[in-house]
Amino acid sequence: MYKGPITGTIDLATTLATQKWLHSQGFNSGPEDGKWSPCISMAIQRFLLSRGYDDVKVDAALHTAACQITPGFFRKLNGSEDNYLTTTRAFQQWLREEGEDIDIDGNFGRYTVSAWQRYLQRNKVTGPPEISLKTVFACDGGSNGTEDVTVKVGSKSAEESSMEFQEELTATIEAPLKGFTLSVEGESSKTFKSAMSRTEYKETVTTTTIHLDKPCYVYQVVVKVPTRHGVMTIPLHKHISPTPLIFQESF
């Protein structure tokens, strides 16, 4: 999500990554334009409230630090210096709980921003994957002509992730994927790929020409993995079958 260096300063890249991360968590931080605004600060405060930091108030206190306005000026402006300290300490506490090495000192400065940049760089799996089988195309046969079926495989987000995260992703998906493919019933279900490798993450698009005179069913395995940067959706291999398959909606 953040691919820049650890500088401890809130630059355009850090701000844009923060906006994207907040949106992935379901919090409105305004347009993804790389400009730090009160919308971002208030979205962070709402996020902290959702995580149980009940002392935090939504008033854009972090806008002070990001814009390098002195706490004194900010206090004179709207009387919220106390909430600036409360919000910053809550943010630092949350980062520490997420594994970042950070002091809880109430100062939204270089060390706090550096910890935040590291957090945005290091994605992690946060829960079990959901695996489903999507019906891409279905034809009962008996018609004339052909139809091109296009399927996208892989995920740009997963493809561009670090090798460490890809290995964690693979280890998380592999066993549930095998269990899911074994649960699919049908004449050609045994031909499903149940193994997982890092090459599966490369985003590609393939087109298959289907002849409509014969029954044909095109399926695709889709994996959704919760991560600290939001749910990552990874469309995997397609599967072409002459008969319908019986499968659970998700696994």
Can you give the length of the chain in residues?
251
Structure confidence at residue 197 as a pLDDT band (50, 70, 90): confident
pLDDT of res. 41: 85
Instruction: State the first-to-last Cα distance of the chain, in angstroms, to the nearest integer.
Output: 28
Residue whose token pair is 């379901």: 26
pLDDT per position as a tens digit, 141-159: 999 999 999 999 999 989 9
- For residue 179, give the H/E element and its range: helix 163-183
Alpha-carbon separation of residue 210 from 44, 135, 144, 242 (angstroms): 49, 15, 11, 11
Token pair belonging to 244: 């319908």
Token pair belonging to 4: 């820049």
Q: Which of 49-63, 95-109, 154-168 has the lowest mean pLDDT?
A: 49-63
Averaged pLDDT of the chain: 85
Return the amino acid letter for 47: F
State the CB neighbour count (10 A cutoff) for residue 249: 7
Per-residue pLDDT averaged across 195-219, rounded?
90
Check if the beta carbon of residue 251 is closer than 8 Å to that of residue 23: no
pLDDT of res. 60: 63
How far apart CA 209 and CA 139 sit, in angstroms, is: 12
Residue 16 has pLDDT above 90, yes or no: yes
Which SS3 state, helix, strand or coil, does residue 14 take? helix
List 132's β-bridge partners, or say none: 222, 250
Per-residue pLDDT averaged across 8-24, rounded?
92
State the CB neighbour count (10 A cutoff) for residue 50: 11
Q: 15 CB contacts (<8 Å, ≥6 apart)?
A: 34, 35, 36, 40, 66
pLDDT of res. 36: 83
- Greater pLDDT, 50 or 79: 50
pTM over 0.85: no
Residue whose token pair is 């992703």: 169
Could you say which DSSP state residue 37 is in? -
Which of 52, 15, 50, 44 has the alpha carbon at shortest distance from 28? 44
Per-residue pLDDT averaged across 147-175, rounded?
92
- Write the secondary structure of 35-96 as one string of H (helix), E (strand) and C (coil): CCCHHHHHHHHHHHHHCCCCCCCCCCCHHHHHCCCCHHHHHHHHCCHHHHHHHHHHHHHHHH
Q: Residue 186 phi/psi, 5° resolution?
A: 155, 165
Per-residue pLDDT averaged across 178-206, rounded?
77
pLDDT of res. 68: 44
Per-residue pLDDT averaged across 111-116, rounded?
94
